[in-house]
Amino acid sequence: MYNISLHYLDGTKLVGSAKSMEPDMVVEMVGNVMQQGVKMEAIIADDDTAAISNIHRNLDPGLKKYSDKNHIKKNISNSLYNLQKNTSHCQQRSLII
């Protein structure tokens, strides 16, 4: 994993791995929006639980998170593939639905 250093316009600096920075940046963005008085019920994001976990701990424990379209498709495809793989009558070459 790469170490990255981000320099903000206000002079602050964030140093760490790219993997740890994404949740920190999401928390910062959500916090900035909330400080402007915007009421948020949910965010749409990838399936990384670190960001929503940090939001619940630091900002709003009631904020919901929904998966984005690409992750929903991937999860459904994986579930169907596993169902086919683990179900004997679905392992035929052609299946009429």
Domain parsing of the chain, residue ranges: 3-67
Instruction: Provide the pairing of β-strand 64-67 with 3-7.
Output: unpaired
Q: Is the pTM of this model over 0.85?
A: no
Assigned token pair, 31: 């916090």
What does DSSP assign to residue 11? S
Mean pLDDT of the chain: 79
Instruction: Tell me the pLDDT tens digit for each residue of 23-39.
Output: 888 888 899 999 999 99
The whole-number pLDDT of residue 57 equals 94
| For residue 40, pLDDT beyond 70 | yes
What six digits make up the tokens of 11?
Answer: 């002079």
pLDDT at 92 over 80: no
Signed CA dihedral, 25, 27, 30, 35: sign only: negative
- Higher-pLDDT residue of 60 and 45 is 60
Alpha-carbon distance of 23 to 28, in angstroms, equals: 9
How far is C-alpha 20 from the chain's CA centre? 13
Give the pLDDT confidence of 68-90 residue by residue, as tens digits: 888 889 989 888 888 888 876 66
Cα gap 55→82, rounded to integer Å: 32
Residue 96 has pLDDT above 80, yes or no: no
